[in-house]
Amino acid sequence: MLANNYRYKVMFMMLILAIINYVDRGAISYAQEEIVKEFGFDNMAWGMVLGYFGYGYIIGSLFGGILADKKGPKFVFTLVGIGWSVFVILTAFAGEIGLALFGGSALTGFAVIRIFFGLAEGPAFSTINKTNANWAAPKERGMAVGLGILGTPLGALLTAPIIVGILSITNWRVMFIALGLLGIVWVLLFRKAFTNMPEDNLKVSKEELEKIRSKEDLLPGEKMVGESKDTIKWYDFFKHRALVFNAISYFSYMYVNFLLLTWTPKYLMDEFGYQLSSLWYIGMIPWTGACITVLLGGKISDLLRRKTGKLRIARSYFTIVCLAFTATCFLLIPTASSAVAVLALMTIGNAFNSLPNTVYWSVVLDIEPDKAGTYGGMTHFVANFATIIAPTLTGFLVTYYGYSSMFVAAAVAVMIGMVTMFCVNPDKTNRTDRKDLSQAIVSE
C-alpha cells in the first residue's frame, strides 16, 4: 500500500517544510516585547520592521517560481531552505549589524536582514505548487494543494507554543539561532528523499505512476503536465484574465493572513493585557479553525468540480461565498467588547478566509500545470504586496486610529477579493480579451 502512495510522503515532507517556513516568519511577532524594549521601536517603526519582510518576499516569490520551472523544485527547495535559515540566524544579530554597519541604525539592520529573509522564503509556495503539478493527478489537485498549504495555518498555530516555549527558557537571540539550525537540518533530510518528478524516484511504483498520469475525470480545458506549448512565456500570465484576477483576490487572503500573523500578539498584549506566558495558547486560537478548513476547502472544491463539471463553481463562486463570511466577521470585531468575543470572531473569520486558500493555487494548476512554478510565482508576487501593506499600514492605522481600524481595513481588502473573484472563470482556457471589469463580472 505504501509503495503506491509515495506521492503522499512527498506532500507530507513539503508540509513540514512549509510549517518551518511559517514558524520562522512568525517568530519575530512573539519576540516583539524584548526587541521593542531593547531598541526603542514605536508602533510605526515596529510596523516597518514587520513589513520589510514583504519587500524581499514578493521578489523571491516571483523569481522562485520561474527558477522552479527551469531548474526544478529540488534545486530551489535546497537553495532557499538553507538561505532563509541562515537569515533567521542572522536576525539574532540584526540590531548590532545595523548599529555597526549602517550609521548606528538598528532599524536599518533589521530592514536589511528582514528583506533578505523574505527574499529567501518567497519561492517556497510557488515551488510547492510546481511540485504538486508534477506529482498530483488532476483529480487530486485540490487535495494536494490543500495539504501543501496546510503549513500556513498549522505553522502559524504552532508558532505560538514553540516560540513562547523557547523564549521561556532562553532569550530571543538564541531562539532565532535554534530555528535556523533546525531549518538547515530538515532541508538536508528532505533533499535526500525528494526528486523533481515521480518518474525519477525509485520508490514510486508503476501502479502509482499510472495513477498520477491518469487522465480519468479530466474536465474540458484542464491540462496534464507536458501538454502546454513550449512557447509560453512568463508575461503570458497577464494575458489570462482568470489568472490575473485570481492573483488579486489572493491578495485579500494574504492581507488577513499576514495581519493576524504579525499583529495579533501585540494587539492582545496591548488591548487585553495578556502576558507572553499566556500567548503560548492564546496565540494559537485564531488559527485552530483554519487548520481544518484549509484541508476541507480543497476537498469541497474538488467535490464541486466532480458534481458540477464547472471549475467556475468549484473555484470562483465557492471562494466568493467564503470571503463574504470572512468580511462579516472582521467588520464585527470592532463591536466586540471582550477578548473572548474578539478571539471567536478572529477564529471564525480566519477559518472562512482559509477555506478557499487551495483555490488560488488550484486555478493555476487548472490552467497551466507546466507553468505552475512561473505562474504560481506571478500569483504569489501580486498577492504578496499584502505582506508589505498589511503590517506597515496597520502600524499607521493603530498609531492614529486605534486597533479597531486594522480590522475594518482587513474587511475592505476581503471585499476587493470578492469582487475580483467574480472575474475568474477557469472553464475558459482562451486568454483574456480586453474587457473591462464590469463586463468581466457579468460574463459567463
Q: Quote the pLDDT of residue 219.
A: 61
φ, ψ dihedrals at 374, nearest 5°? -65, -50
Q: What is the dihedral of CA 166, 168, 172, 175, to 10 degrees?
A: -10
> 3-state DSSP call for residue 262?
helix
Q: Quote the pLDDT of residue 222.
A: 55
Q: Quote the pLDDT of residue 420.
A: 95
Average pLDDT of the residues in 273-278: 86
DSSP-assigned states of every residue in 381-429: HHHTTHHHHHHHHHHHHHHHH-THHHHHHHHHHHHHHHHHHTT--TT--
Least confident of 57-61, 236-240, 245-249: 236-240
Q: Quote the pLDDT of residue 443.
A: 41
Least confident of 56-60, 113-117, 274-278, 417-421: 274-278
- Give CA–CA dist 12/154, Å, rounded: 13
Cell digits of residue 314: 468549484
Q: What is the pLDDT of residues 347-386, one digit of tens each?
A: 999 999 999 988 898 888 788 777 777 887 888 889 989 9
Report the percentage of the chain scoring pLDDT > 70: 91
Q: What is the pLDDT of residues 104-147, one digit of tens each?
A: 899 999 999 999 999 999 998 888 878 888 888 777 776 777 77
Cell digits of residue 203: 520508490
- Contact indicator for 111, 52 with CB cutoff of 8 Å: yes
What is the sign of the dihedral through the CA atoms of 121, 139, 244 and 397? negative
Nearest to 133 by CA among 213, 58, 203, 59: 213
pLDDT band at 230 (very low <50, low <70, confident <90, very high): low
Nearest to 33 by CA among 172, 160, 155, 170: 172
Cell digits of residue 442: 457579468
Q: Quote the pLDDT of residue 433.
A: 38
* 7-198+233-434 fold: Growth Hormone; Chain: A; (1.20.1250)
Kindly list the domain boundaries of the chain, sorted by start residue.
7-198+233-434
Given a cut of 50, whether residue 166 has pLDDT beyond it is: yes
Residue partners of 281: CB distance under 8 A and separation at least 6: 160, 161
Nearest to 389 by CA among 230, 218, 258: 258
How far is Cα of residue 221 from the mean position of the Cα atoms in its chain? Answer: 27
pLDDT band at 80 (very low <50, low <70, confident <90, very high): very high
pLDDT band at 437 (very low <50, low <70, confident <90, very high): very low
Given a cut of 80, whether residue 165 has pLDDT beyond it is: yes
